Amino acid sequence: MFRWIVVCILVSTTIRVDAAPKPTKEWWKDSFIYQIYPRSFMDSNGDGVGDLNGITSKLQHLIDLNVSAIWLSPIFESPMVDFGYDVSNFTKIDPIFGTMSDFTNLTATAKALGLKVLLDFVPNHTSNKHPWFLKSVKKIKPYDDYYIWMDGKLVNGTSEPPNNWLSVFGGSAWEFNEERNQYYLHQFAAGQPDLNYRSAAVNTEMEKILTFWLDQGVDGFRIDAINFMFEDPRYLDEPRKSNAGVDEDDYEGLVHIYTKDLTDTFTILKSWRKLIDTHGKKAPKGEPKIILTEAYTRMSEITKYYEAGSDVPMNFMFIDPLNRYSSTMEFKRNIDAWMNLVPKGHVANWVVDNHDNPRVGSRYGVRRSDELSMLSAVLPGIGIIYYGDEIGMLDRNMTWNETVDPAGCNLGPEKYHLKSRDPVRTPFQWDNSTNAGFSTANKTWLPVHENYKTLNLAAQKAEPVSHYSLFKKLVALKKMPIMKTGSMEVILVGENVLGVVRRLPDIPPVVLLINFSETTVVVDARTWMNIPEQLTVYASSVGSNIPSEVTMDTTEINLPGAASVILSGP
């Protein structure tokens, strides 16, 4: 009884989405952004690692999908301790990916095809092989305070790390450097020392780097780990979670009150926003540049990122292991909460997958592989997908010997699988030839998933029903006027079905229904959602066996277990 009262209250929220849109140059509103992990997209030179020329050779695939932009995970010179997120030269392309002229060729080709190119900007840390760090070790000015250096704490005559801070990849966040006789902070791998933004010179360096890439004509940046940039200068121990249920040196065991989301982060973001916007005005077409920010953080912090200038404070509600919502009620509550926090004039965003978390079909089950792409298409704002989502790629379990990700390697042979991100980074499955058509090498940097013989792009292009053809429909749907300006409601259609409805006056609504249960449910969507008695199937999840274009009686919809369906007018 109580549950149904709650349901009725929840059912009633309608979210208006900018009633009268002004023509906007902000190309990213209501678009899909496609993340490429360059090592795994396409290898053009047969060394087993993907590269820029490989990406250029496959741009037609992105054009066929009709996504608006590609975001490239780091392509800069790097010792590859964290596969590019440890940068040793921010303005040089790593030879494994190609040359600056390959990059120019990639961006010129993409631009000619109408595709935006976004780079990953990694401001929190550098590689420990970066010349700044090497000079900092030697206390050469002004590099001596480019990083966070501290003396050890003397405990019973031995030097210990300055405090209890932990690295995201496990263990102390402090590494002792013999030469300087001090500890340096690294919130990720030891090969990724944290920069010290209390030194003004560091920000000047980063501004030069942003300007350098803006001069190359990039369309925006995804800012990596932005909420790690500042630390509380008192360097106090962080409190321990009371019941985290994790190992002593596991990052999740602490509450990160002194190392994350500090106020200074927003000041620096504002200054970068200004720099990027000013540069945009000088650009020939004056098109605005986009800023995406990566911060796994509380919803209450998100508004601050929007207000400080992020166009896309990435919304990880569907993928963050700490809050990966699983019930219809939780989905509804959190989607509504997100919509309510988006400041006026900004847009929501929905991250479907990325290179740090299990792929959607592996975290929710194969039958639910399409669910989040469908949701991100129907919800207002930007959908962000990860290479391979469009064909339903799945995680490939790795043996300890195959594991290369520091997040896994640091845990050792017994536990590596709990944190390793290798399974989600396997080569793109283009076709059923050797190495899935990704590379001609004898060995690829990570093994190709064994399922490539049947699960690949070429096979899906030949099939009438596929993840690929579904995703193309979703991109087309997002570009429709009702998706840009229609109102939006998230509705619980009974206990197990989540509904989303978009409406504009005088035209049929667009309705998404997702069955969260494993078995068939029959729902009266008409009554629950106040929609016409008859609607047509626009698209359905692969495996649901719901044919497109059939007309449905919305008073009695048969929704197979784990199926999702989008209905609209004829």
* Residue 95 CB partners (closer than 8 Å, separation 6+): 77
Interface pick for ligand NOJ out of 7, 96, 122, 276 (rule CB under 6 A) = 122
* Residue 188 CB partners (closer than 8 Å, separation 6+): 82, 85, 86, 124, 125, 167, 168, 169, 225, 406
We find the least distance from the C-beta atom of residue 505 to ligand NOJ, in angstroms, to be: 42
We find the least distance from the C-beta atom of residue 82 to ligand NOJ, in angstroms, to be: 5
Residue closer to ligand NOJ by CB (options 122, 291) is 122
Residue closer to ligand NOJ by CB (options 294, 371) is 294
- Token pair, residue 203, equals 């920000």
| CA angle, residues 452, 49, 418, in degrees to nearest 5 | 65
Q: How many residues interact with ligand NOJ (rule CB under 6 A)?
A: 9
- Token pair, residue 379, equals 């919800």
Place of tokens 């040196």: 249
- Token pair, residue 160, equals 């210990």
Whole-number Å distance between alpha carbons of 100 and 213: 11
We find the least distance from the C-beta atom of residue 190 to ligand NOJ, in angstroms, to be: 13
Residue closer to ligand NOJ by CB (options 354, 541) is 354
Interface pick for ligand NOJ out of 34, 85, 258, 438 (rule CB under 6 A) = 85
| CA angle, residues 345, 348, 353, in degrees to nearest 5 | 155
Residue closer to ligand NOJ by CB (options 225, 308) is 225
Residue closer to ligand NOJ by CB (options 294, 353) is 294
We find the least distance from the C-beta atom of residue 296 to ligand NOJ, in angstroms, to be: 9
Residue closer to ligand NOJ by CB (options 225, 483) is 225
We find the least distance from the C-beta atom of residue 421 to ligand NOJ, in angstroms, to be: 7
Place of tokens 């792409």: 373
Contact between 525 and 501 under an 8 Å Cβ cutoff? The reply is no
Whole-number Å distance between alpha carbons of 384 and 373: 9
- Token pair, residue 563, equals 């199926």
Residue 441 identity (one-letter amino acid) = A
- The strand pairing partners of 93, in sequence order, are 76
- Token pair, residue 15, equals 């979210």
Q: Measuring CA to CA, which residue among 262, 345, 361 is closest to residue 311?
A: 345
Q: Which of residues 265-294 bind ligand NOJ (CB under 6 A)?
A: 294
Q: Measuring CA to CA, which residue among 79, 76, 103 is closest to residue 91?
A: 76
We find the least distance from the C-beta atom of residue 222 to ligand NOJ, in angstroms, to be: 9
Residue 95 φ/ψ, nearest 5 degrees: -55, -25
From the number of C-beta atoms within 10 Å of its C-beta (0-12, 13-18, 19+), residue 301 rates as: middle
Whole-number Å distance between alpha carbons of 451 and 443: 17
* Residue 155 CB partners (closer than 8 Å, separation 6+): none
Residue closer to ligand NOJ by CB (options 227, 435) is 227
Q: Please confirm, yes or no, whether 224 is among the known catalytic residues.
A: yes
463-469 contacts at long range (C-beta below 8 A, 24 or more positions apart): 465/542, 466/391, 466/542, 467/369, 467/370, 467/389, 467/390, 467/391, 467/392, 467/542, 468/390, 468/391
DSSP string, 230-248: ---TT-PPPPBPTT--S-T
Place of tokens 């840009």: 484
We find the least distance from the C-beta atom of residue 95 to ligand NOJ, in angstroms, to be: 21
30, 43, 102, 224: the catalytic one is: 224
Residue closer to ligand NOJ by CB (options 294, 489) is 294
Whole-number Å distance between alpha carbons of 403 and 409: 7
Residue closer to ligand NOJ by CB (options 355, 467) is 355
Q: Please confirm, yes or no, whether 294 is among the known catalytic residues.
A: yes
Q: Helix 299-307 to helix 264-282 angle, to the nearest 10 degrees?
A: 40
Q: Is 82 in the site for ligand NOJ (CB under 6 A)?
A: yes
Q: Is 371 left (phi over 0), alpha (psi -120 to 50) or beta?
A: alpha
Residue closer to ligand NOJ by CB (options 76, 516) is 76
51, 294, 311, 353: the catalytic one is: 294
**Interaction pattern, residues 291-320, with ligand NOJ; x per rule: CB under 6 A:** ---x--------------------------
Residue 160 φ/ψ, nearest 5 degrees: -120, 165
What is the layout of strands, in order, in the sheet containing 349-351? 312-313, 290-293, 220-223, 116-121, 69-72, 32-36, 382-386, 349-351
We find the least distance from the C-beta atom of residue 169 to ligand NOJ, in angstroms, to be: 8
We find the least distance from the C-beta atom of residue 513 to ligand NOJ, in angstroms, to be: 33
**Interaction pattern, residues 194-233, with ligand NOJ; x per rule: CB under 6 A:** ------------------------------xx--------
Residue closer to ligand NOJ by CB (options 254, 292) is 292
We find the least distance from the C-beta atom of residue 226 to ligand NOJ, in angstroms, to be: 10
We find the least distance from the C-beta atom of residue 188 to ligand NOJ, in angstroms, to be: 4
**Residue whose CB is nearest to ligand NOJ in the complex, by number:** 85
Active site residues: 224, 294
Binding residues vs ligand NOJ (CB under 6 A): 82, 85, 122, 188, 224-225, 294, 355-356
